[in-house]
């Protein structure tokens, strides 16, 4: 039995760090585990220019714990008014590693998102030309579409036409949650990859309602059926390079989670690598863990794997911790699914 594993230091290819007090409070959790992270641009004022990205990057660097080499990789928030020229300018100074498509109204701080994909076709053209990846929140916002079908419908209504028009455009289908999504990625070529979160490896929609409605299990895209979770798990442990880790760790203060209209987002950074390792262990796939967490994503984004390693150990008793962090006068609760956590980072 394997009770300890050492892997190349992972990267997080999808992370929300926020700003100010929240940034300062959550950053150490990611910096302790991950070498680099693709940082999402959905701030209250979205990151839409090279200048804003550079300013935000500096703020993250300044908030790093003493001695940390954690490297934030910045992204651009795509809006209806983003121009091909904006992309060329940003490319020249290497300001962005990806451009993020939030369909307008799909999730937290997405009001400035794209209202119709055709409006940004000239931007996609420019991105295809220079090799800038498009990071996609893959859900339609049509109120007539069932919330659990929004990923599948997005494939038909948005991804298929985009792939037809821009076959060489690199696309990251973020936080894959459905069998339809997995099957679609599997049918595509190397220009289409997908990130998978720790929570979508663990949760089904039952978790949202277990013991009463639980906003701490609520994120977007929402967790789906057992069959969907199984497809996502199989993809993660398959060793297929197109699937890699993006935690989508998305902190919200308790006051935003514990109310009617609870915010979508799960703060999983502290327990993320432990839970991912645990799922790989359960599926007898620890030999596939390092590729998923530390190699495939780096390769896709054009980086070498990190030069250091981390070690994880399987404990005899569930890991104990204070499952929350303080942020200003409030707290942010750490992702704690029903499954007890056994795998833990060895300091």
Q: Write down the catalytic residue from 12, 86, 248, 344.
A: 248
Which positions ≥6 away from 265 have C-beta within 8 Å? 16, 108, 218, 219, 220, 248, 250, 251, 252
Kindly report the CA angle at 195 between 304 and 217, in degrees rounded to 5? 135
Nearer to Zn ion by C-beta: 300 or 343? 300
Q: Pick from 201, 219, 232, 236: which binds ligand DOR (CB under 6 A)?
A: 219
- Structure-block tokens of residue 191: 């220009």
Task: Give the strand pairing for 330-333 and 71-77.
Answer: unpaired
273 binds, among ligand DOR, Zn ion, none (CB under 5 to 8 A by kind): none
Q: Pick from 82, 107, 135, 178: which binds ligand DOR (CB under 6 A)?
A: 107
Q: Does 250 bind ligand DOR (CB under 6 A)?
A: yes
Stretch that binds Zn ion, among 75-83, 241-249, 291-299, 339-347 (CB under 5 A): 241-249
End-to-end CA distance of the chain: 22
Q: Is 240 known to be catalytic?
A: no
Query: 193 vs 171, 189, 213, 306, CA distance in Å?
Result: 6, 9, 33, 20
Q: Does 196 bind ligand DOR (CB under 6 A)?
A: no
Q: Does 16 bind ligand DOR (CB under 6 A)?
A: yes
- For residue 42, say whether it is annotated as part of any ligand binding site: yes
Q: Does 12 bind Zn ion (CB under 5 A)?
A: no
Site for ligand DOR in 25-54 (CB under 6 A): 42
Alpha carbons 329 and 94: distance in angstroms, whole number: 37
Alpha carbons 283 and 308: distance in angstroms, whole number: 26
100 binds, among Zn ion, ligand DOR, none (CB under 5 to 8 A by kind): none
- Structure-block tokens of residue 156: 């038909």
Show which residues are catalytic: 248
Q: Which residues are annotated as a binding site for Zn(2+)?
A: 14, 16, 100, 137, 175, 248
Residues that bind ligand DOR (CB under 6 A): 16, 42, 107-108, 137, 219-220, 250, 264-265
């Amino acid at each position: 039995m394997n009770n300890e594993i050492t892997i190349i230091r992972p990267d997080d290819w999808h992370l929300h760090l926020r700003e100010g007090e929240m940034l300062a409070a959550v950053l150490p959790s990611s910096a302790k585990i991950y070498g680099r992270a693709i940082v999402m641009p959905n701030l209250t004022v979205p990151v839409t220019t090279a200048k804003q990205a550079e300013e935000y990057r500096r703020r993250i660097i300044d908030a790093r714990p003493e001695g940390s080499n954690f490297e934030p990789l910045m992204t651009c928030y795509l809006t209806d008014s983003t121009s091909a020229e904006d992309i060329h300018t940003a490319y020249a100074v290497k300001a962005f590693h990806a451009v993020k498509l939030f369909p307008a109204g799909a999730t937290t701080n997405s009001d400035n998102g794209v209202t119709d994909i055709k409006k940004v076709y000239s931007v996609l053209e420019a991105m295809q030309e220079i090799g800038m990846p498009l990071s996609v929140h893959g859900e339609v916002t049509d109120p007539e579409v069932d919330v659990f079908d929004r990923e599948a419908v997005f494939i038909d209504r948005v991804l298929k036409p985009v792939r037809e028009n821009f076959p060489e455009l690199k696309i990251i289908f973020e936080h894959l949650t459905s069998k339809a999504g997995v099957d679609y990625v599997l049918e595509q070529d190397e220009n289409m990859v997908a990130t998978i979160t720790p929570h979508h490896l663990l949760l089904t929609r039952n978790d949202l309602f277990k013991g009463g409605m639980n906003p701490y299990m609520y994120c977007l895209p929402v967790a789906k059926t057992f069959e969907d979770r199984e497809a996502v798990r199989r993809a993660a442990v398959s060793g297929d390079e197109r699937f890699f880790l993006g935690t989508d760790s998305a902190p919200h203060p308790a006051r935003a989670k514990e109310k009617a209209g609870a915010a979508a987002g799960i703060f999983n950074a502290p327990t993320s690598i432990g839970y991912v390792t645990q799922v790989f262990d359960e599926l007898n796939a620890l030999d596939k863990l390092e590729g998923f967490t530390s190699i495939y994503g780096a390769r896709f984004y054009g980086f070498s794997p990190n030069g250091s390693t981390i070690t994880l150990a399987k404990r005899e008793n569930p890991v104990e911790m204070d499952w929350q962090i303080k942020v200003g006068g409030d707290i942010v609760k750490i992702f704690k699914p029903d499954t007890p956590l056994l795998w833990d980072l060895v300091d």
